[in-house]
Structure 1
């Protein structure tokens, strides 16, 4: 029995938000390293029309980055090298990323030091490498810049974990060299007073694969912008996401997959749940298939489960196709409440209502959580979801 109806047929969709036609191609939007090349957002722009700008503490306008109170520690395979390098290091900018927003450009300009994680060529990590970032206070803003490089024909999993209190804006560059396989997991368990803006950009090499997973379970306002490009044919990208918004929280995820190389694939699947008054989630999925990207195979899916009145989920998938020579392209977006038949079925077999609700939510998230592939993270995510549900029942 399906909780929400998917429409996996290429080209089909079920959108929960009103249709929106951008005034320009996604590829034509401004990009620059210079913050002054972007106007301060007002909320009327397509990129910022859903975001509560008044709660961002100046991260898009005039924040003074003074280092904040973040501490960072790494653990895992000793094959991974972690360095602090200058802005002039050859790895910085090697993904081809150029900031596409004022917030990202401000963070780029403010981060004097860059954290560089390197997986050596042909290395195969037996365990994930975890980089833990912990904030001690939301007073004061911090800017960060991280570069993750997976060397040719390497196999690795890297986890970026965030917790505590902070006001932070960061850029993360991800370079997956030819033939490499990288799983990058981001887990955000911020306290309720935290604000985070994150811009991730991945460059997928020839016959390489990137599994990019975002788990967002805390914070006052959290926004993740993810963009993906391909450096050669045969590249593969899987973008997975899990988010749970509680009362008053705003969790926003935006993705842009730029198919510019032929015979590449992408598959995006994000699932979110909302509970509590004014809980808000936003998911925007943009896919551009350029004229040269023949043989592209792409699909994106967003599903939202609204658990209580007063919560709102906006979901907007967009496809731009410049060539008809593709293997497949489609998207789907669904938003709904509990399936009463599922609850009745479980309760009719003696399962109390609260436990039945938890089982339905666990089942809703399970298909993505199980694909994370890191037992430590999987258990952490499911425990956090259980805690969110327990809070609602009190």
Structure 2
């Protein structure tokens, strides 16, 4: 994208020099209430999410509605069900509180060998902000199965949740999480994902609404030869805080990861945060990894923080790299298009569509692609950029 200035940032956490050393636990006491000075929390507006840190403030559990073919099994289960808590342990205060607070969970199972051709919709909706609500969702795609699952978040809630994802051997899953909340919603969610041998996961995050959204997708390879593609799109508006913290743990041979996140920002105090942590372990020979984040700042008063981190513990890899770029709207591109007869509104729309287009088309769900382009236009119009 013309006009973007490339910059690569590398940070070190004094308390935990390696991403692998950071605490994870199912016990509340092991992950204390943050002060905002911790590496995991230094970009987060603590005052906006403080209620999420205390289980006593919660008002219950929110469960989704699920729409999908008969081949898929959907169950509501008690928190003691043995299928819960099998995908890694919580890695920060909000996720450990979510684990200790939910009362019932939703378990979605795609059976072994099933080829589910139509999308499965998992919908969370809220009518009013109110007290924090916990949520817990398990997605289990068994060996040799394939599915496409769309998580939709709309309305207004204060919601703190967990999505556990198991992708079995040689299975394929495309998981799309749409955050289209109303302006006052607050949403924290940990996506913890295990990928089996030879399996493929496409993980897509789209964040367009909500006062404060903090998502933490963690990927763990549990079988050799697995692949993950992580795509993200966010449009952060006035007074919104959108934070995406990714962790890809390469600990096995011949696994591949690709991460591409793009965001646009407009309006006063619009704040977007992207953290991309990739760890390539000492035994992860043949790893192929790359991560990219780009931010387009449309006007004054908006701020983007972007930090790619890459740790490599062995020299026998196929490739690894990362990049981050943040820049202002390119007035030269705008001038060029207008000099060819376009009005300013159409020219601005074309530039922003061009910024997002490649990523949106990779979602490969036609009605979702058009829905996102329409949502981007609505954001531009609301911000006075059309």
Structure 1 gaps of 5+ residues are 7-12
2:73 equivalent in structure 1: 81
1:303 equivalent in structure 2: 294
1:290 equivalent in structure 2: 281
TM-score when normalising by structure 1: 0.94
Matching residue within 31, 40, 50 for 2:43:
50
Matches within 5 A, 1:272-283: 272-283=263-274
Matching residue within 81, 85, 93 for 1:102:
93
1:116 equivalent in structure 2: 107
1:14 equivalent in structure 2: 7
1:9 equivalent in structure 2: none
1:59 equivalent in structure 2: 52
What is the rounded CA distance, in whole Å, between the counterparts of 2:3 and 2:217 in structure 1?
A: 26
Instruction: State whether residues 86 and 112 of structure 1, in contact with CA within 8 Å, keep that contact through their aligned partners in structure 2.
Output: yes
Farther-moved stretch of structure 1 (55-64 vs 328-337) = 55-64
| 3-state SS in 1 of match to 2:64 | strand
| 3-state SS in 2 of match to 1:138 | coil
Instruction: State whether residues 63 and 106 of structure 2, in contact with CA within 8 Å, keep that contact through their aligned partners in structure 1.
Output: no
Instruction: State whether residues 150 and 176 of structure 1, in contact with CA within 8 Å, keep that contact through their aligned partners in structure 2.
Output: yes
TM-score when normalising by structure 2: 0.96
1:10 equivalent in structure 2: none
1:137 equivalent in structure 2: 128
Instruction: State whether residues 57 and 63 of structure 1, in contact with CA within 8 Å, keep that contact through their aligned partners in structure 2.
Output: no
| 3-state SS in 2 of match to 1:47 | coil
What is the rounded CA distance, in whole Å, between the counterparts of 2:222 and 2:32 in structure 1?
A: 31
What is the rounded CA distance, in whole Å, between the counterparts of 1:181 and 1:152 in structure 2?
A: 9
Q: Cα offset for 1:58? A: 1.1
Matches within 5 A, 1:226-305: 226-305=217-296
What is the rounded CA distance, in whole Å, between the counterparts of 1:130 and 1:32 in structure 2?
A: 30
Q: Cα offset for 1:63? A: 4.9
2:149 equivalent in structure 1: 158
What is the rounded CA distance, in whole Å, between the counterparts of 1:5 and 1:51 in structure 2?
A: 25
Structure 2 gaps of 5+ residues are none
Deviations 1:118-157 (A, max 9, x none): 1111111111100111011111110011000111111110
What is the rounded CA distance, in whole Å, between the counterparts of 1:183 and 1:251 in structure 2?
A: 22
CA gap 1:91/1:387 in 2 versus in 1, 3 angstroms = same
What is the rounded CA distance, in whole Å, between the counterparts of 2:307 and 2:175 in structure 1?
A: 24
Instruction: State whether residues 71 and 135 of structure 1, in contact with CA within 8 Å, keep that contact through their aligned partners in structure 2.
Output: no
Instruction: State whether residues 64 and 106 of structure 2, in contact with CA within 8 Å, keep that contact through their aligned partners in structure 1.
Output: no
2:341 equivalent in structure 1: 350
Deviations 1:27-71 (A, max 9, x none): 111111111222210000000000001011410245522226x56
Deviations 1:206-261 (A, max 9, x none): 00010000000000000000100011110000010000000000000000000001
Farther-moved stretch of structure 1 (380-389 vs 82-91) = 82-91
What is the rounded CA distance, in whole Å, between the counterparts of 2:39 and 2:53 in structure 1?
A: 15
Figure out how many residues of one structure are paired with residues of the other and give that number.
383
Tell me how large the CA RMSD over aligned residues is: 1.5
What is the rounded CA distance, in whole Å, between the counterparts of 2:55 and 2:117 in structure 1?
A: 44
